[in-house]
């Protein structure tokens, strides 16, 4: 019995897959626990109108819940996600008029912000007659439409990561890379061709997914911008999959490794739960997550009538990740093929 236990423990020590099986539920609990909160934090709010009213309201706002921003173009800031709430106020012969605009593309923060702002305005200006009007921007769609950007972003992410990593590992185990090493073809050229072949293949799949999502109830986005976004994001995540395939020992492990990578990126990107429902520290780190920028870009295109200039920042961020992941992926695969050759 002791020998059996010792043998199994030694297998566990050598088997990365078993380690990942133990780590995976820890990662899931950790990410879900941090991703779900009953409150919102740092919702960007713009205050416009009579200075005295806005100063009074600003002093009364919950600083943990709202972050004051001063956009030069309010409509553009709403489309790009820099502003989620805007309050305009004026005093008309003793009657205070407040117009509250809410970004309805994120339902969770819309409801909480609406309730909190109405309560704050009524408590601060209780001695005045009040008129409060709420306008939901980018609203009036089916429930599915609000999840569509995250679903599409996740489909692109998972297709690139899982598709590239598992296919390349399969080729490693089937001996395809051995043929490449013994052929006149440069390993670097082979890896680059592989990456772009996966980008095209997965890109077609993403385009079909996007068409299905459109049929199910979202606006038709700008076609050229959508194609650019799909190709650049696929390049980033396919290259990430190539990196994984070069680092893990076999195909039995790659699924667990991909899952451990996927869950933090998925939950800390606003795919299913708004980033504003998470701890401010998580919000700060989310800017490093490429899936965060892909989510925001699709939300702008599908729900906010955005064009290329509205998503240029997330596209540039994804382009940087594409370049970095491609260089690292090529370097790791080149080192792997050279090691196999020796």
Please give the sequence-ordered ranges of beta strands (E in DSSP) within the chain, or none if there are none. Answer: 43-49, 66-69, 85-92, 95-103, 130-137
Strands, sheet with 130-137, edge to edge from the N-terminal-most edge strand: 66-69, 43-49, 85-92, 95-103, 130-137
Q: What are phi and psi of 67, to 5 degrees?
A: -120, 120
DSSP state, residue 142: -
pLDDT of 313 reads 93
| 64 Cβ contact list (under 8 Å, min separation 6) | 39, 41, 42
How many other CB atoms are found less than 10 A from the CB of residue 20?
Answer: 19
pLDDT of 274 reads 84
Each residue's pLDDT tens digit in the chain (342 positions)? 555 555 555 555 555 555 666 676 776 676 776 667 777 889 999 999 888 889 999 998 988 889 999 998 999 999 888 999 999 999 888 889 999 999 988 877 888 888 889 999 999 998 889 999 999 888 767 777 788 888 888 888 988 888 888 887 777 777 666 666 566 666 677 777 778 877 887 777 777 777 777 766 677 788 889 889 988 999 999 989 888 888 887 777 787 788 888 888 888 888 878 888 888 888 888 899 999 999 999 989 888 888 899 999 999 999 999 999 888 888 887 777 665 555
| Whole-Å CA distances, 257 to 139, 199, 244 | 38, 21, 8
As a whole number of angstroms, the distance between CA 290 and CA 157 comes to 9
As a whole number of angstroms, the distance between CA 106 and CA 88 comes to 21
Cα of first residue to Cα of last residue in the chain, in angstroms, is 41
| 1 Cβ contact list (under 8 Å, min separation 6) | none
Q: Domains plus CATH for the chain?
A: 43-137 (3.40.190), 143-341 (no CATH)
As a whole number of angstroms, the distance between CA 330 and CA 307 comes to 33
pLDDT of 7 reads 58
pTM (two decimals): 0.82
As a whole number of angstroms, the distance between CA 226 and CA 249 comes to 36
pLDDT of 253 reads 77
As a whole number of angstroms, the distance between CA 333 and CA 186 comes to 12
For residues 68 and 47, the answer to whether their CB atoms sit within 8 Å is yes
């Amino acid at each position: 019995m002791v020998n059996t236990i010792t043998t199994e423990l030694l297998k566990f020590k050598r088997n990365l897959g078993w380690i990942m099986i133990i780590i995976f539920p820890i990662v899931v609990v950790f990410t879900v626990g941090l991703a779900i909160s009953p409150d919102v934090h740092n919702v960007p709010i713009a205050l416009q109108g009579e200075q005295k009213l806005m100063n009074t309201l600003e002093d009364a706002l919950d600083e943990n819940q709202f972050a004051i921003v001063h956009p030069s173009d309010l409509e553009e800031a709403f489309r790009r996600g820099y502003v989620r709430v805007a309050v305009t106020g004026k005093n008309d012969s003793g009657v205070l008029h407040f117009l509250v605009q809410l970004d309805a593309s994120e339902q969770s923060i819309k409801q909480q912000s609406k309730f909190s702002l109405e309560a704050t305005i009524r408590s601060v200006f209780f001695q005045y007659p009040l008129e409060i009007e709420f306008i939901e921007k980018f609203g009036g769609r089916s429930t599915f439409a609000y999840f569509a950007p995250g679903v599409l972003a996740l489909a692109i992410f998972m297709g690139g990561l899982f598709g590239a990593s598992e296919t390349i590992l399969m080729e490693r185990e089937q001996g395809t890379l051995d043929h490449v090493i013994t052929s006149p073809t440069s390993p670097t050229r082979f890896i680059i061709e592989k990456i772009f072949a996966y980008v095209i293949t997965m890109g077609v799949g993403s385009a079909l997914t996007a068409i299905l999502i459109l049929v199910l109830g979202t606006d038709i986005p700008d076609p050229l911008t959508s194609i650019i976004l799909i190709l650049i994001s696929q390049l980033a995540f396919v290259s990430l999959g190539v990196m994984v395939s070069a680092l893990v020992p076999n195909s039995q492990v790659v699924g667990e490794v991909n899952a451990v990578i996927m869950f933090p990126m998925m939950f800390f990107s606003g795919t299913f739960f708004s980033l504003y429902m998470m701890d401010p520290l998580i919000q700060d780190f989310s800017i490093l997550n490429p899936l965060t920028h892909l989510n925001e870009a699709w939300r702008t295109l599908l729900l906010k009538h955005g064009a290329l200039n509205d998503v240029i920042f997330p596209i540039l961020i994804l382009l940087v990740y594409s370049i970095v992941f491609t260089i690292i992926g090529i370097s790791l695969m080149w080192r792997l093929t050279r090691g196999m050759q020796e």
